[in-house]
A and B are shown apart, each in its own frame.
Chain A
Amino acid sequence: MLSTYQYPKYDYVQPPEQKSGERKRHPVVVVGAGPVGLAAAIDLAQSGVPVVVLDDDDTVSVGSRGVCYAKRALEILDRIGAGDACVAKGVSWNVGRTFFREEEVYNFNLLPQPDHKRPGMVNLQQYYLEEFEVRRAQQLPKLDLRFRNKVVSVTSTAEGATLQVETPDGAYTIEADWLVVADGARSGIRKMMNLEIEGKVFTDRFLIADVVMKAEFPAERWFWFDPPFHPGHSVLLHRQADNVWRIDFQLGWQADPEEEKKPEKVIPRIKAMLGDEREFELEWVSVYTFQCRRMNDFRHGRLLFVGDVAHQVSPFGARGANSGIQDADNLGWKLKLVLDGLAPERLLDSYSEERIFAADENLLNSTRSTDFITPKSKASLTFRNAVLTLARDHAFARTLVNSGRLSVPCFLTKSRLNTPDTDAFAGDMIPGAPMDDAPLQEDGQDCWLLDRVGNRFMALVYVESAAAVDAAMTQAASTLAAAPIPVEVVLLAPTAGPPPAGLRVLEDVAGRFAERYDARPGTVYLLRPDQHVAGRWRAFDTARIEAALARATCNAQ
């Protein structure tokens, strides 16, 4: 169907309980093997939780859907073992340019700071992301990925959920202690449960054309307001893998989607943009509209909603799949602690609270972008064009140009899992912050901070020299490591030196950690398994770390 991509066809295997006729109860069932459901399942399975994933299809996402995967999503994909494949196949970029009519008026760099492992953004067709996640999922013995298993009904109780599932061999019943619902924007489960998702539909239509062409354009995001080749509307150009280019034309609400999809209509639009001489081949064409909305609660008893089923945003800003992957990141460790009996169920309410806080930020930013890109009144259009006119010469107006505020992680400043600061710190790494990366060394080998943290609670202790660590701290570290919810204490030092017994030392070779985390000898950061800051202090104190850990896991009295 596509000239550049062959859809994989995954084998259907009859589920064991359908074969045996024995009803089985699983700790976690995930519905939907899209990028978010798979991320959640992989995260749980690699932490030792057995997971069943049900998907009604036997291949990856068809056609042109998600494109841009942001730095934070890539870092999460790194943590679940799928990041390298995505970055290797995708097109990395940091610079976006915005044009008004014929002139460039504004450009931005998503990653103005050096020394981060991942770029601001990678463009990659969604089917590749899913394929790489399926590959990772199939490496995990705890993960049972079932294709052509369609959920047809769901019953929710206080202790779990019971699902009726249809396969090519007929129907069977499966029970779950916890159900992770990741079946997308048109979720069947949400409908079966009669749960509302509220928001608004935007009255505009957009044409997606994916074209295959050899072009020397740089790997940048180009956005036009009112260009000569598509007057009165906006156009967006992105480079994807395999020399596929995504062109997104705003059409207006009056456009006829069926008519606009016809090659005889699409090809002249593209020729007007690229010039008559450039050769290209149409790979995919579709017309879309979008909605901005979210569910009121992402947890309903034993049902946990992640990704598009829970929230949908306008595509300007790439805040859809990226925020869904962050949902999975937020949920995995909490669900594991609850399943292991190490945290109360209300820890999962914090999943809903934190991700609703993030969803609202995404909705706010993507709605603002949409309002700027497609003004709804004459006054709004006049202001928009005034901003674009002033932007050429004046810095203040450039900050107002909004062609999409691209996905960045939310600072969970209001979370009740945070331990508020009692000591003074500069910079942004406040409790609730998604961690900044930094280049480090361990045992003389280069490494990245974000590759060395996550999947467990950790206390990073910044010291002048590893040799200066006394026996009391070594003792405290082993106490914290032996607790029911272990905290691994790791030292960070400007220069390594011989590590004290049993402690790892990360060397802040470039001084970036000290700079980004405002670290001084004695500074301690308590980190969540999802690479967020839980608390921080200017001196190491076991009791304060334990109290912050209890708070971050809803175990505080």
Chain B
Amino acid sequence: MPLNLKPNFAEPGKRYFRAYTPGDDFYEALIETHRDLSDEQSALVNAKLVLLLSNHIGDLSVLREAMQIARQDV
């Protein structure tokens, strides 16, 4: 399966009336994860997040595609 670049956030069992809500729920949780951390601590948390999620995805072809997009224009 190729890397999914379409909106894909949802929480099982939750009903959404506005298309932006699941993405906003995710984004708030993400920012909240970094609350009160120093820049260095945040960088470490991000690194751990990437590793955790990468393992969950598992498929190296998908991960390589994501890595390539992430590096573009940086």
Q: Answer yes or no: B73 CB below 8 A from chain A CBs.
A: yes
Q: Answer yes or no: A377 CB below 8 A from chain B CBs.
A: yes
What's the nearest-Cβ distance from chain B to residue A103, in Å? 12
Asked if B27 and A400 sit within 8 Å, CB to CB, the answer is yes
Interface residues of B in 37-69 (CB under 8 A from A): 37, 39, 42-43, 46, 69
Q: Answer yes or no: A408 CB below 8 A from chain B CBs.
A: yes
Asked if B34 and A411 sit within 8 Å, CB to CB, the answer is no
What's the nearest-Cβ distance from chain A to residue B31, in Å? 5
Known: A379-B46, A389-B73, A402-B20. A396 touches B27 (CB 8 A): no
In the docked arrangement, what's the CA distance between A377 and B39, Å?
8
What's the nearest-Cβ distance from chain A to residue B1, in Å? 15
CB-CB nearest in chain A for B45: A379
The digit string for B12-40, where 1 denotes a CB below 8 A from any CB of A, is 00010111100110111011001101010
Asked if B34 and A400 sit within 8 Å, CB to CB, the answer is no
Known: A378-B39, A399-B19. A383 touches B31 (CB 8 A): yes
Stretch at the interface among A131-139, A153-161, A364-372, A452-460: A364-372
The majority secondary structure among interface residues of chain B is loop
Chain A residues positioned under 8 Å from B5 (CB to CB): 394-396
In the docked arrangement, what's the CA distance between A408 and B43, Å?
36
In which size bucket is the chain B interface? 20 to 34
Contact pick for B27, options A368, A379, A390, CB 8 Å:
A368
In the docked arrangement, what's the CA distance between A380 and B33, Å?
10
Chain A residues positioned under 8 Å from B35 (CB to CB): 377
Q: Answer yes or no: A25 CB below 8 A from chain B CBs.
A: no
In the docked arrangement, what's the CA distance between A399 and B69, Å?
18
Asked if A368 and B24 sit within 8 Å, CB to CB, the answer is yes
Known: A395-B6, A428-B17. A402 touches B39 (CB 8 A): no
Chain B residues positioned under 8 Å from A389 (CB to CB): 73
Asked if B18 and A408 sit within 8 Å, CB to CB, the answer is yes
Chain A residues positioned under 8 Å from B20 (CB to CB): 399, 402, 405
Q: Answer yes or no: B7 CB below 8 A from chain A CBs.
A: yes
Asked if A400 and B23 sit within 8 Å, CB to CB, the answer is yes
Chain A residues positioned under 8 Å from B18 (CB to CB): 405, 408
The digit string for A369-405, where 1 denotes a CB below 8 A from any CB of B, is 0011000011110010001011000111001101001
CB-CB nearest in chain A for B35: A377
Asked if B34 and A379 sit within 8 Å, CB to CB, the answer is yes
Contact pick for B24, options A377, A405, A411, A413, CB 8 Å:
A405
Interface residues of A in 413-465 (CB under 8 A from B): 413, 428
Chain B residues positioned under 8 Å from A379 (CB to CB): 31, 34, 37, 39, 42-43, 46
In the docked arrangement, what's the CA distance between A395 and B4, Å?
10
Asked if B17 and A411 sit within 8 Å, CB to CB, the answer is yes
Chain A residues positioned under 8 Å from B15 (CB to CB): 413
In the docked arrangement, what's the CA distance between A411 and B17, Å?
8
CB-CB nearest in chain A for B19: A399
What's the nearest-Cβ distance from chain B to residue A354, in Å? 15
Chain B residues positioned under 8 Å from A408 (CB to CB): 18
Known: A378-B39, A411-B17. A383 touches B30 (CB 8 A): yes
In the docked arrangement, what's the CA distance between A240 and B26, Å?
34
CB-CB nearest in chain A for B28: A368
In the docked arrangement, what's the CA distance between A146 and B22, Å?
47
What's the nearest-Cβ distance from chain B to residue A95, in Å? 16
CB-CB nearest in chain B for A409: B17
In the docked arrangement, what's the CA distance between A413 and B17, Å?
11
Chain B residues positioned under 8 Å from A390 (CB to CB): 69
What's the nearest-Cβ distance from chain A to residue B18, in Å? 7
A-B pairs, top 4 by smallest CB distance, nearest first, are: A379-B42, A379-B34, A399-B23, A394-B5
Offer 18 A-B interface pairs, CB within 8 angstroms, sorted by A. Answer: A368-B24, A371-B28, A371-B31, A372-B27, A377-B35, A379-B34, A379-B39, A380-B31, A383-B30, A394-B5, A395-B5, A395-B6, A396-B4, A400-B26, A400-B27, A402-B20, A402-B24, A428-B17
